[in-house]
Chain A
Amino acid sequence: MASEAAGQGRRPGVLRRLADSDLFWSFRRSPVTVAAAAVTLLLVLGAVLAPVVAPHNPYDLASLNLLDARNPPAWDESGDWSFPLGTDDQGRDVLSSILYGMRLSLFVGGASVLLALALGVGLGLLAGYAGGWVDMLIMRIADVQLSFPAILVALLVDGVARSLLPHERQGDTALYVVTLAIASSIWVQFARTVRGSTLVERSKEYVQAARIIGVHPVAIAWRHVLPNALGPVLVIATINLALAILTEASLSFLGLGLPATQPSLGTLIRIGDGFIFSGEWRWILLYPAIALAGLTLAINLLGDWLRDALNPKLR
């Protein structure tokens, strides 16, 4: 009982410590960041809860009615509140499509960043800690990778996957191919950053102390170097999340990403793009584009704030 109380006195709850932290303080001080966080939270919640909150299920072909096609948004005089942002040429509700599409966009973005993070941090740590020819090999591969624009790398992976996979399965695998394609274009940034901070940490005396104690090199890299080298990775991950979502949208817009049966935001924009010169039905393009811009802008602003807040030189 007494020891429990002492334990609580020493370590306040996680929420309490979070509210007292420098990070939260700098968060509350910046209205732009609070707004960006609110927008991100709203969009992410909407996307994750799409099956619950969306008025329609755009994948349910049986519920579509071509008579509902190209309905304008609800505030238009011929609009209808059952389709708040209007419908596309197939009669699918644009708002529902956006929510479901954002789910896919966020999944591809998040999964590709996680994959790139695992790959990049692992290889960067290996290169920085092992040094020598291992470092040389990994970093030259990274340099070659970096000299190609991200979208080109993604196109290459996508193209290779398309030629390898049977045509009828491409619809199912498209999601994973796109994720892999984007991950392989952004891992380099993680690898270079982690290698850099690994080199710095590796030369510090606490690492030498662990070597003298006789700790296994893998344990030194994992338990001593990695936690100290991870600082900038969170920032890069946040900014790259926005970048990955944009890359996915670009691929889908070019028709190389997700198919029309599983429309992401980029696919929706591509579909809407077909109507832009008609002068009418512009909502089919406009609202998915606004959703994409809002999502990536909000995430980018969060990333910028995180970079500044975690940089001790700017405090």
Chain B
Amino acid sequence: MKNQLNAVLLSAALAGLAGGSAVAAHAATQTSVNANSAKVMKAGLRYSGSNYDTAKHSCKGKNDCKGQGGCKSSDNGCSGKNSCKGKGGCATDGSKMPDSI
């Protein structure tokens, strides 16, 4: 009985695969929006979070915490600390820093 049920499920799965695959193959040859939207309908809900497009790597120095905020050129009161937690601050006026140079 169990084997019989399994055979039925297997046939159903194969029929589903064949049918779905045919639909996908047909959609791939279509350029219409409808063909694609049918796939999207099946896809569920679309995710569009803030980290949707992300590029984690760069070769810049980090002057901020958690990727938020940062050091603005208008900030004053440099403390020499590369943090943005109310203590940082920087300028880019090109002025020479060390007197010794």
Whether chains A and B associate is: no
Name B residues whose Cβ lies closer than 8 Å to a Cβ of A. Answer: none
